[in-house]
Amino acid sequence: MRIATWNVNSITARLPRLLAWLEGSAPDVLCLQEVKCAEDAFPYEEVRALGYEAAVHATGRWNGVAILSRAGLADVVPGLPGGPEYEGAQEPRAISATCGPARVWSVYVPNGRDVEHDHYGYKLRWFEALRDAVAADAADGRPFAVLGDYNVAPTDEDVYDPAVFEGATHVTPAERAALAALRDTGLTDVVPRPLKYDRPYTYWDYRQLCFPKNRGMRIDLVYGNAPFAAAVKDAYVDREERKGKGASDHAPVVVDLDV
């Protein structure tokens, strides 16, 4: 079974690349983030033509998450149960579903913007709610994983130059402690480091030639419970998909399981 995650940074802008990637990489399940469209504007027919059902939680403009599956799609829960509001509303940043033998969550963790911004506190509260919400799923006994754009680099090795990020979000002790608390629910980072190349980043800013210079961050993660981790046979970042015109600023992360 192949399960992947990808922040597409607008499914409308990325649709031709998404469809081509689905055909070429053939994941059984794909978790998407930052779809940036309303649910009724999602390209259901296009992905259905390739054999995928879609569960979508999105309201348009920013954010939005989805799960595409050709392994079944059941027990769909849109949203983060108990999640905090921002500016008076719960944002569409999480969706979970059972896909065949596995239970998966697709998450788009708040960015945080700046350590002095109220969005940073919102990010930490969102992590707390995520930890509480996934604890029961993680302990269920079936393969389970939380996949997505966590907007946190777990260690200094996950950014190209720690000095550049000093004092900024994505690397603060509080954010990394939130990741550790999530792992304490019984999850582990199932994508090993290094992979097929050193420093397997998943995100490169569009500006300042960050991708050609490999000035990236590893913020797209797959955290799985013990049954999920034990089934992992291979994992990789599809760096090739970040190349060329019209690419997302994130690359897909792919995990192959023997289940």
Residues designated catalytic:
108, 149, 250
Which residue positions form the known binding site for Mg(2+)? 7, 34, 149, 151, 249-250
pLDDT at 212 over 90: yes
Which residue positions form the known binding site? 7, 34, 149, 151, 249-250
d(CA 115, CA 165): 12
Strands of the chain, DSSP E: 2-7, 29-33, 53-57, 65-69, 74-78, 94-99, 102-108, 144-149, 188-189, 203-204, 216-217, 220-224, 232-237, 253-257
- Report which of 142, 152, 107 is spatially closest to residue 225, judged by C-alpha positions: 142
Q: pTM score, two decimals?
A: 0.96
pLDDT tens figures, 155-186: 999 999 999 999 999 999 999 999 999 999 99
User: What is the pLDDT confidence band of residue 197, given thresholds at 50, 70 and 90?
Assistant: low
User: What is the pLDDT confidence band of residue 72, given thresholds at 50, 70 and 90?
Assistant: very high
% of residues, the chain, pLDDT over 70: 97
pLDDT at residue 193, rounded to an integer: 63
pLDDT at residue 240, rounded to an integer: 95
Tokens standing for 258? 């023997």
3-state secondary structure of 14: helix
pLDDT at residue 85, rounded to an integer: 96
Q: Which helix (H) or strand (E) holds 97?
A: strand 94-99
User: What is 2-257's CATH number?
Assistant: 3.60.10.10
HSE-up (13 A, CA, CB side) for residue 212: 4
First to last CA, the chain: 7
Torsion angle of the four alpha carbons 159, 160, 163, 164, in this order, in degrees rounded to the nearest 10: -90
Strand order across the beta sheet in which 94-99 lies: 74-78, 94-99, 102-108, 144-149, 220-224, 188-189
pLDDT at residue 121, rounded to an integer: 97
Chain centre distance of CA 7:
6
pLDDT tens figures, 93-110: 999 999 999 999 999 999
Which backbone phi and psi does 96 adopt, to 5 degrees? Answer: -130, 155
pLDDT at residue 95, rounded to an integer: 98
pLDDT tens figures, 240-250: 999 999 999 99
